[in-house]
Structure 1
């Protein structure tokens, strides 16, 4: 399919793209969002396939990485426009002028918590949400549940912070965290700077659900009361607590450490021909 040129801000498709780029309400209503830049677009192609629409700035066509993406998208709709028009759609300064329009994945209603998961309670900052999604994907946690007050996971800012993590995750928006926790068949662990138990004293080799809360207020009192256990992350400095994205990374990779150490111990015992 050849590239179609758009040269006017009054073009109906351009107006639609501008709404998607600038309005969270428009993205939710259309159930579509934008992926901005070569990295996100390439990750989407590798993990999800072709997008409904590929958009490129005129100058970017000469970029080898962009040219490769355009070639892979030959079977889908492709739009080229002047750089000035493209830059009004992009929130990335000094980026490479390439973006995809994608359908926001719709997942099945949240079921019972039976495998490791991340629960986000009213997180406001898109960068924190994206960073946590990235850590979850890297730690092998497949499911993330976002409360109604949490930043929209498929907004451009969260997508950029996630660096492609979204495409390997099952992300539930508007999730009823209280109902999920109440019916969970695995422990639900909440981080709290006022907890007595230490993260490093808990057995994390089996599936758990991690509950992380608002940047300033932490996990809400109602959800803390439902959690199986509250955990603190020990630290030596004078700071009261860590940033929520940093806390999530520490917790998730302590779980990775314990699970990989346990697997390594089993492998060593097997190699030595004796039970663990």
Structure 2
């Protein structure tokens, strides 16, 4: 295993830039996975990373040692950093020092809507986006389509909130949702408080596309008009609406309930 001890090393400088700069990650086509759970999930569901990076303090941690051993067994490269070099690379507080450098998965050929999927219109909070991806994966949904203006799917904050969901999904970014809806072969359902028809009154025992919108402004009016069905999640109390990630989870798992 290669070791680095100097902050002036070119490989370390490149790692530091990738860890801190979304522009650098986009330009290189690479992403950084931070923490044991994401690294384990990537190994299990995708492949070995371009590079596995650990600190001196964590190299003997049982889970880290197992990950490094698996990477090396499968021909991957591991890099050992001093603790002082590793910590500027990580955004995880009080975590175990391990990260992967990976090629960012890109799905360029956007398919027609024929199976249950999620359409996200300008979801901007990384925590919300990651939570939606996590709920989608847990509900057995495979495809997620993100409009321009949606948070970067492979950013560190979205990855952490997703808890490995990225590796169970096909996520398409910068998608024209208008074109996708126009050619949809399944019902497209938008959630809105301005209807009386609830998700519990609707037949979800079939493929549908869930259309979810911006945290403050909701689904764009042009898309709302195009949706084949508009449903509300009934709730009690004085709150006007649910957080979009909570709304997504309720919708996805009502569909799971109906399909069982």
Structure 1 length normalisation: TM-score? 0.92
Distance in 2 between residues matched to 1:149 and 1:25, nearest whole Å: 16
Structure 1: where are the runs of 5+ without partners? 261-276
Deviations 1:235-262 (A, max 9, x none): 00110000000000000000000000xx
Residue 200, structure 1, aligned to residue 200, structure 2: yes
1:47 equivalent in structure 2? 45
Q: Between Structure 1 and Structure 2, whose CA radius of gyration is higher?
A: 1
2:94 equivalent in structure 1? 94
Distance in 1 between residues matched to 2:227 and 2:9, nearest whole Å: 52
Structure 2: where are the runs of 5+ without partners? none
Describe the SS at the equivalent of 2:230: strand
Residue 69, structure 1, aligned to residue 74, structure 2: no
Structure 2 length normalisation: TM-score? 0.97
2:191 equivalent in structure 1? 191
2:223 equivalent in structure 1? 223
By how many angstroms is 1:85 displaced? 1.2
Describe the SS at the equivalent of 1:60: coil
1:120 equivalent in structure 2? 120
2:28 equivalent in structure 1? 30
1:256 equivalent in structure 2? 256
Deviations 1:194-249 (A, max 9, x none): 22311111000010000111111111111111111111100001100000000000
Distance in 2 between residues matched to 1:214 and 1:7, nearest whole Å: 45
Residue 131, structure 1, aligned to residue 127, structure 2: no
Distance in 2 between residues matched to 1:126 and 1:195, nearest whole Å: 28
2:18 equivalent in structure 1? 20
- Trace 1:235-254 onto structure 2 (pairs within 5 A): 235-254=235-254
Q: Which runs of 4+ in 1 moved over 2 A?
A: none
By how many angstroms is 1:108 displaced? 3.5
Distance in 2 between residues matched to 1:147 and 1:15, nearest whole Å: 33
Q: Find the partner of 1:10 among 5, 8, 11.
A: 8
